[in-house]
């Protein structure tokens, strides 16, 4: 059963417009698939010089990672801090020029008491927009 925006906000430390994800479409022990529509919102807090830079796709991926952790923990995830991002590939300049619905996927590569590592990507249909790998230090 998909989770809606309000349920997502309860799983991450961001609220209102800064909660960038729209729904969780599916998840399991190792991965999560979310949707996002906030990239086209004229009031987006990520908007800079009239657009949402593609580099902000890292935050979309990080939020999917945080939601995944919250779901795995039964709704009370440990706080974490984005420690590093690597291999980031940007196929577009801005996200707001993409379609109205983006797919955000995160796949967990490493999980231990101190940190987690994920691969993430944002897609507009089949078109890959942003991809990379991110590590999180857990408190």
The two tokens of residue 86 are 């690597």
Q: What is the rounded CA–CA span in Å between residue 15 and residue 34?
A: 16
Query: Domain 5-138 classified CATH 1.20.140.10?
Result: no
pLDDT one-digit tens code per residue, 44-82: 888 898 899 999 999 999 999 999 988 888 876 667 889
What is the phi/psi pair of residue 34, to 5°? -120, 170
- Taking CA atoms, 100 is separated from 6, 13, 15, 41, 51, in Å, by 19, 25, 21, 10, 14
Q: What is the rounded CA–CA span in Å between residue 27 and residue 97?
A: 27
Amino acid 112: pLDDT: 87
pLDDT one-digit tens code per residue, 75-113: 766 678 899 999 999 999 999 889 999 999 999 999 888
3-state secondary structure of 44: coil
Amino acid 86: pLDDT: 97
Domain ranges of the chain: 5-138
């Amino acid at each position: 059963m998909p989770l809606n925006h309000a349920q997502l906000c309860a799983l991450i430390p961001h609220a209102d417009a800064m909660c960038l994800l729209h729904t969780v479409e599916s998840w399991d022990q190792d991965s999560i698939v979310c949707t996002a529509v906030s990239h086209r919102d004229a009031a987006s807090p990520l908007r800079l010089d009239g657009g949402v830079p593609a580099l902000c796709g890292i935050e979309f991926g990080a939020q999917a990672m945080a939601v995944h952790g919250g779901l795995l923990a039964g709704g009370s995830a440990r706080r974490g801090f984005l420690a590093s991002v690597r291999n980031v590939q940007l196929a577009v300049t801005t996200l707001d020029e993409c379609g109205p619905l983006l797919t955000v996927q995160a796949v967990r590569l490493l999980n231990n008491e101190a940190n987690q590592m994920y691969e993430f990507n944002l897609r507009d249909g089949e078109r890959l927009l942003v991809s990379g790998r991110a590590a999180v230090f857990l408190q």
